[in-house]
């Protein structure tokens, strides 16, 4: 089902070598995932680091997930991000702007892009939890419906429904009413 998980976690013994592979495979993706929601490289790195730290603790307690390791890792990351927003005010995470300083050309364009991204981020954070999850996994991480459904513990139809509603929610937030008719 999870076609791109080549790490065999069915083994009775998950070795250190396996875990290093898992790290190499998933840390860049989890970084991208975290960055999209946090808008800040440093925070996204913190999230990746904490995700794997928690994951290792789980492994140590022999509670390693026997299946769908990928969903498991994303879930830990997602929890971390949501914790972050819960503890701090949702308006934080304007860090995208910090990414600009190194690029001197087309600053204006970059700033407007950063604002645009921040707008999307806010819209995503305004979505109900599992609608946001569906968009993050389906759209941004390009998971299949099957994978997403299994990660969320829902049926595929329910996942599709969530996706539909999530997109509607985003459209309502991101595309002003007066423009709707023009399309």
Partner 1 sequence: MMKEFFQQEPIDPRLINILNSLKDTPPRDPDLAEQNKYKFLSELENLPIPTKRPSAIRQFLIGLGISADTNKYKENNKMTTNKKRLAITIIAVLVVFVIALFGGTTATVLAAQNSIPGDTLYPIKTTLERTRLSLARSTDARVELQLEFAEQRLGEIESLIKEGRFQNIKPAATAFEGHIFKALEELNALAQVNPDLAGRLMVRLTESISRYAAALSDMAGRVPEPVRADLQNTIINLGGGDDNANDNANDNANDNANDNFNDNANDNFNDNFNDNFNDNFNDNFNDNENYNDSYDYNENDSYDYNYNDNDNYNDNDNGNFNVNGD
| Contact pick of 48, 84, 137, 147 for partner 1 (by CB under 8 A) | 48
| CA pair distance 21, 73, nearest whole angstrom | 14
The size of the interface with partner 1 (CB under 8 A), counted in residues, is 83
Of the candidate residues 31, 74, 84, 149, the single one contacting partner 1 (CB under 8 A): 31
Q: Where in 102-161 is the site for partner 1 (CB under 8 A)?
A: 113, 116-117, 120-121, 128-131, 135, 138-142, 144-145, 152-153, 156-158, 160-161
Q: Confirm or reject binding of residue 13 to partner 1 (CB under 8 A).
A: yes
Using CB under 8 A, which residues numbered 61 to 80 contact partner 1?
Answer: 61-63, 65, 72, 75-76, 78-79
Classified as helix, coil or strand, 40 is: coil
Interatomic CA distance for residues 106 and 88, integer angstroms: 32
Q: Considering only residues 10, 91, 104, 183, which one is a binding residue for partner 1 as defined by CB under 8 A?
A: 183
- Which tokens is 46 given? 């913190």
Asked if residues 159 and 145 have their Cβ atoms less than 8 Å apart, the reply is yes
The least distance separating partner 1 from the CB of residue 89, rounded to whole angstroms, comes to: 18
Binding-site member from 5, 9, 59, 97 for partner 1 (CB under 8 A)? 59
Q: How far apart are CA 76 and CA 87, in angstroms?
A: 16
Dihedral, CA of residue 118, residue 123, residue 125 and residue 128, to nearest 10: -170
């Amino acid at each position: 089902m999870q076609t791109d998980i080549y790490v065999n976690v069915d083994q009775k013994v998950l070795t250190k070598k396996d875990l290093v592979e898992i790290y190499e495979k998933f840390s860049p993706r989890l970084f991208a995932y975290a960055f999209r929601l946090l808008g800040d490289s440093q925070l996204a790195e913190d999230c990746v680091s904490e995700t794997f730290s928690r994951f290792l603790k789980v492994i140590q307690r022999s509670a390693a997930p026997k299946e769908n390791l990928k969903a498991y890792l994303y879930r830990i990351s997602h929890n971390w991000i949501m914790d972050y927003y819960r503890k701090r005010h949702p308006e934080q995470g304007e860090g995208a702007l910090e990414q600009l300083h190194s690029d001197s050309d087309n600053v204006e364009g970059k700033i407007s892009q950063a604002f645009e991204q921040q707008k999307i981020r806010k819209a995503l954070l305004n979505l109900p939890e599992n609608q946001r999850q569906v968009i993050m996994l389906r759209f941004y991480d390009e998971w299949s419906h099957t994978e997403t459904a299994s990660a969320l513990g829902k049926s595929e139809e329910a996942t599709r429904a969530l996706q539909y509603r999530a997109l509607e929610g985003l459209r309502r937030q991101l595309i002003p009413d007066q423009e709707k008719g023009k399309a």
